[in-house]
Structure formats: C-alpha cells, structure tokens
Chain A
Amino acid sequence: MVKYFACVGLLRSSWDQVCMAFWQRYPNPYSNHVLTEDIIFREVTHGNCLVSRRLLTKTNRAPRWMEKYLPVTMARLAYIIEDSIVDPQARTMTTLTWNISHARMMSVEERCEYRMNPDNPSWTEINREAWISSNLYGLSRAVQVRPHPGHWRSMPQIGPGRLHWQLKRRPKTWPHRLRRNSSLSDLALVLTERLFPTLFPKGLVQSTVL
C-alpha cells in the first residue's frame, strides 16, 4: 500500500538564488545528521539541462539493542539518492529523493518542483509530493499521511547575503502520547519514525495517533 501526500510552498527568493543554494545546502545547522554528500553523476544534456545525482549519507539512530540484528552499515547509516534536473530555459528544477537503504522496511520518495512564482517573479514556488510505502506486516496498513500545513511549513527560507537553509523543527512525537484507542500498527509506525527518522522528509509523517 502506498500513501501519497502533496503540498505547495513559497520561498521569498528568486529561482536563481534557490538553485544556487540547492547545491550549497550542506552543511547547515539543521542538518547535522547528514554526514557526507557527493555528486556521483552529472552532465549537461543536448537540451542544455543539468542532470545530476547526489548521494547522501545520514546517521541512523537505531538503538543499541537493535544494532546487533542489523548489518553494520544499516545499523548506523542511511543512504539516500537525490536526482535532479535543472532547466535554465524553462526556469524549473525537479528533484527526486529516495532511500536506497532500509528500503524493505520503509520506502520514502519525495519529489519537488521549483519554479518561478507566477504572481511574483522574484519568488519561487515549490510543489512537493511524497510517497510512502512499507512491506512490513502491520506497518503498511498504518502508513497514513494526513496533509497538515503546520508540519509542511518547514520550507527553507533564504536570507540575504550568504544563503542558509532554515528548516523549522518538526514537533516531537512520542509513543506515550498515543491515544487510548491507538492500534498496534499505529505504535509500529511511530516507533519506525523514531528509529529511522532520517528516512522521512522533515515534518512529513503526521501519524493518525497524534
């Protein structure tokens, strides 16, 4: 079962600035969990679009008791791929980000389209979509994503001068805040998000238990 979510956001910076900042987003104070970043493929197409593939390594905060049941690299690290196409003629940038580790447990894909805001050319509009699926019994039924504007307001803001991404913190969610009528699969989803948070785009999962 695949769950789908979409939202639109606005950045008060020009599309050019957004694209330049996109390649310089790491490191930043809000992404300490990102350990490494590498461009592993890049070329300019015949149509003058820039296509790139970026490999990210993120920390994976599995508890120690779980580490012995996971392969060494999976216990501590998560690998994410981000593909992108920048079209300077059309003034669009499309990115697709997904996890290539832990994919059997949870698959999270996020697609973003950045384009000039039609009402204000010095601003940038982001169309954001996400697909979440899981093959784990019980968890696949619990994967429910509710559009919650508050959580998806974690849009990067770009200030003047040196460009910095500022991501709003997502609210903490803890199992003890489960409602009384929460099911076992609701608990499984919350625990999975707690154990492998770096697989989830910030603020995406708003479990029905909360």
Chain B
Amino acid sequence: MNSVGEGCTDLKREYDQCFNRWFAEKFLKGDRSGDPCTEMFKKYQHCVQKAIKEKDIPIDGVEFMGPNKDKP
C-alpha cells in the first residue's frame, strides 16, 4: 500500500514489515521487551508528517477517539 507522501512509501513498507512481525510475535503474546521498530518509525514519521503538511490535510487538533467521546 502506498503512503500519502510519494517519497515515503519505501520507509512505510519497511516500518510495516517490522511492526507486523513485532505485533504478532511479541506484543500479542504479552512480551513487553520493547519495540524494535522505533528508529524506523521516526524516519517514516518525519517523511509522512512533512507530506501531510504539504498537502494541507486537516489532521491538526483532532482529539484521539474525539468524535465518539460524548456518545453513550
């Protein structure tokens, strides 16, 4: 799958591969030994956040689970 930042797709795929392996083999099994993908994630985020700003995608100020907070 492509990233919204055209130049970020390779970084995204590299991170996704690392994350999927960690998620299945460590996280879901309760292993809290830490995330080995942190550095990859930082590089990917740096790229994708820049692309989001350039494309003016309105993600700023959107609270986590925000729209659902007032719902029963």
Instruction: Report which A residues bind B (CB closer than 8 A).
Output: 16, 19-20, 23-24, 26-27, 34-42, 44, 48, 50-51, 53, 55, 57, 73, 79, 81, 83, 85-86, 88-89, 96, 98, 100-101, 107, 109, 111, 131
Contact = CB atoms under 8 A, between A and B. Distances in A.
B31 to A, nearest CB: 10
B17 to A, nearest CB: 10
Interface in B1-49: 1-5, 8, 12, 15-16, 19-20, 23-24, 27-30, 32, 35, 41, 44-45, 48-49
Contacts, number: 85
Interface residues of B, number: 36
Given A23-B20, A100-B58, A36 B4 contact: yes
18 contacts: A20-B28, A37-B3, A38-B4, A38-B5, A39-B44, A40-B52, A44-B27, A48-B32, A50-B23, A55-B52, A73-B56, A85-B65, A88-B29, A89-B30, A96-B68, A98-B67, A100-B57, A100-B62
Contact of B4 (A20, A55, A81): A55
Chain A binding surface SS class: strand
Contacts of A55: 4, 52, 57, 59
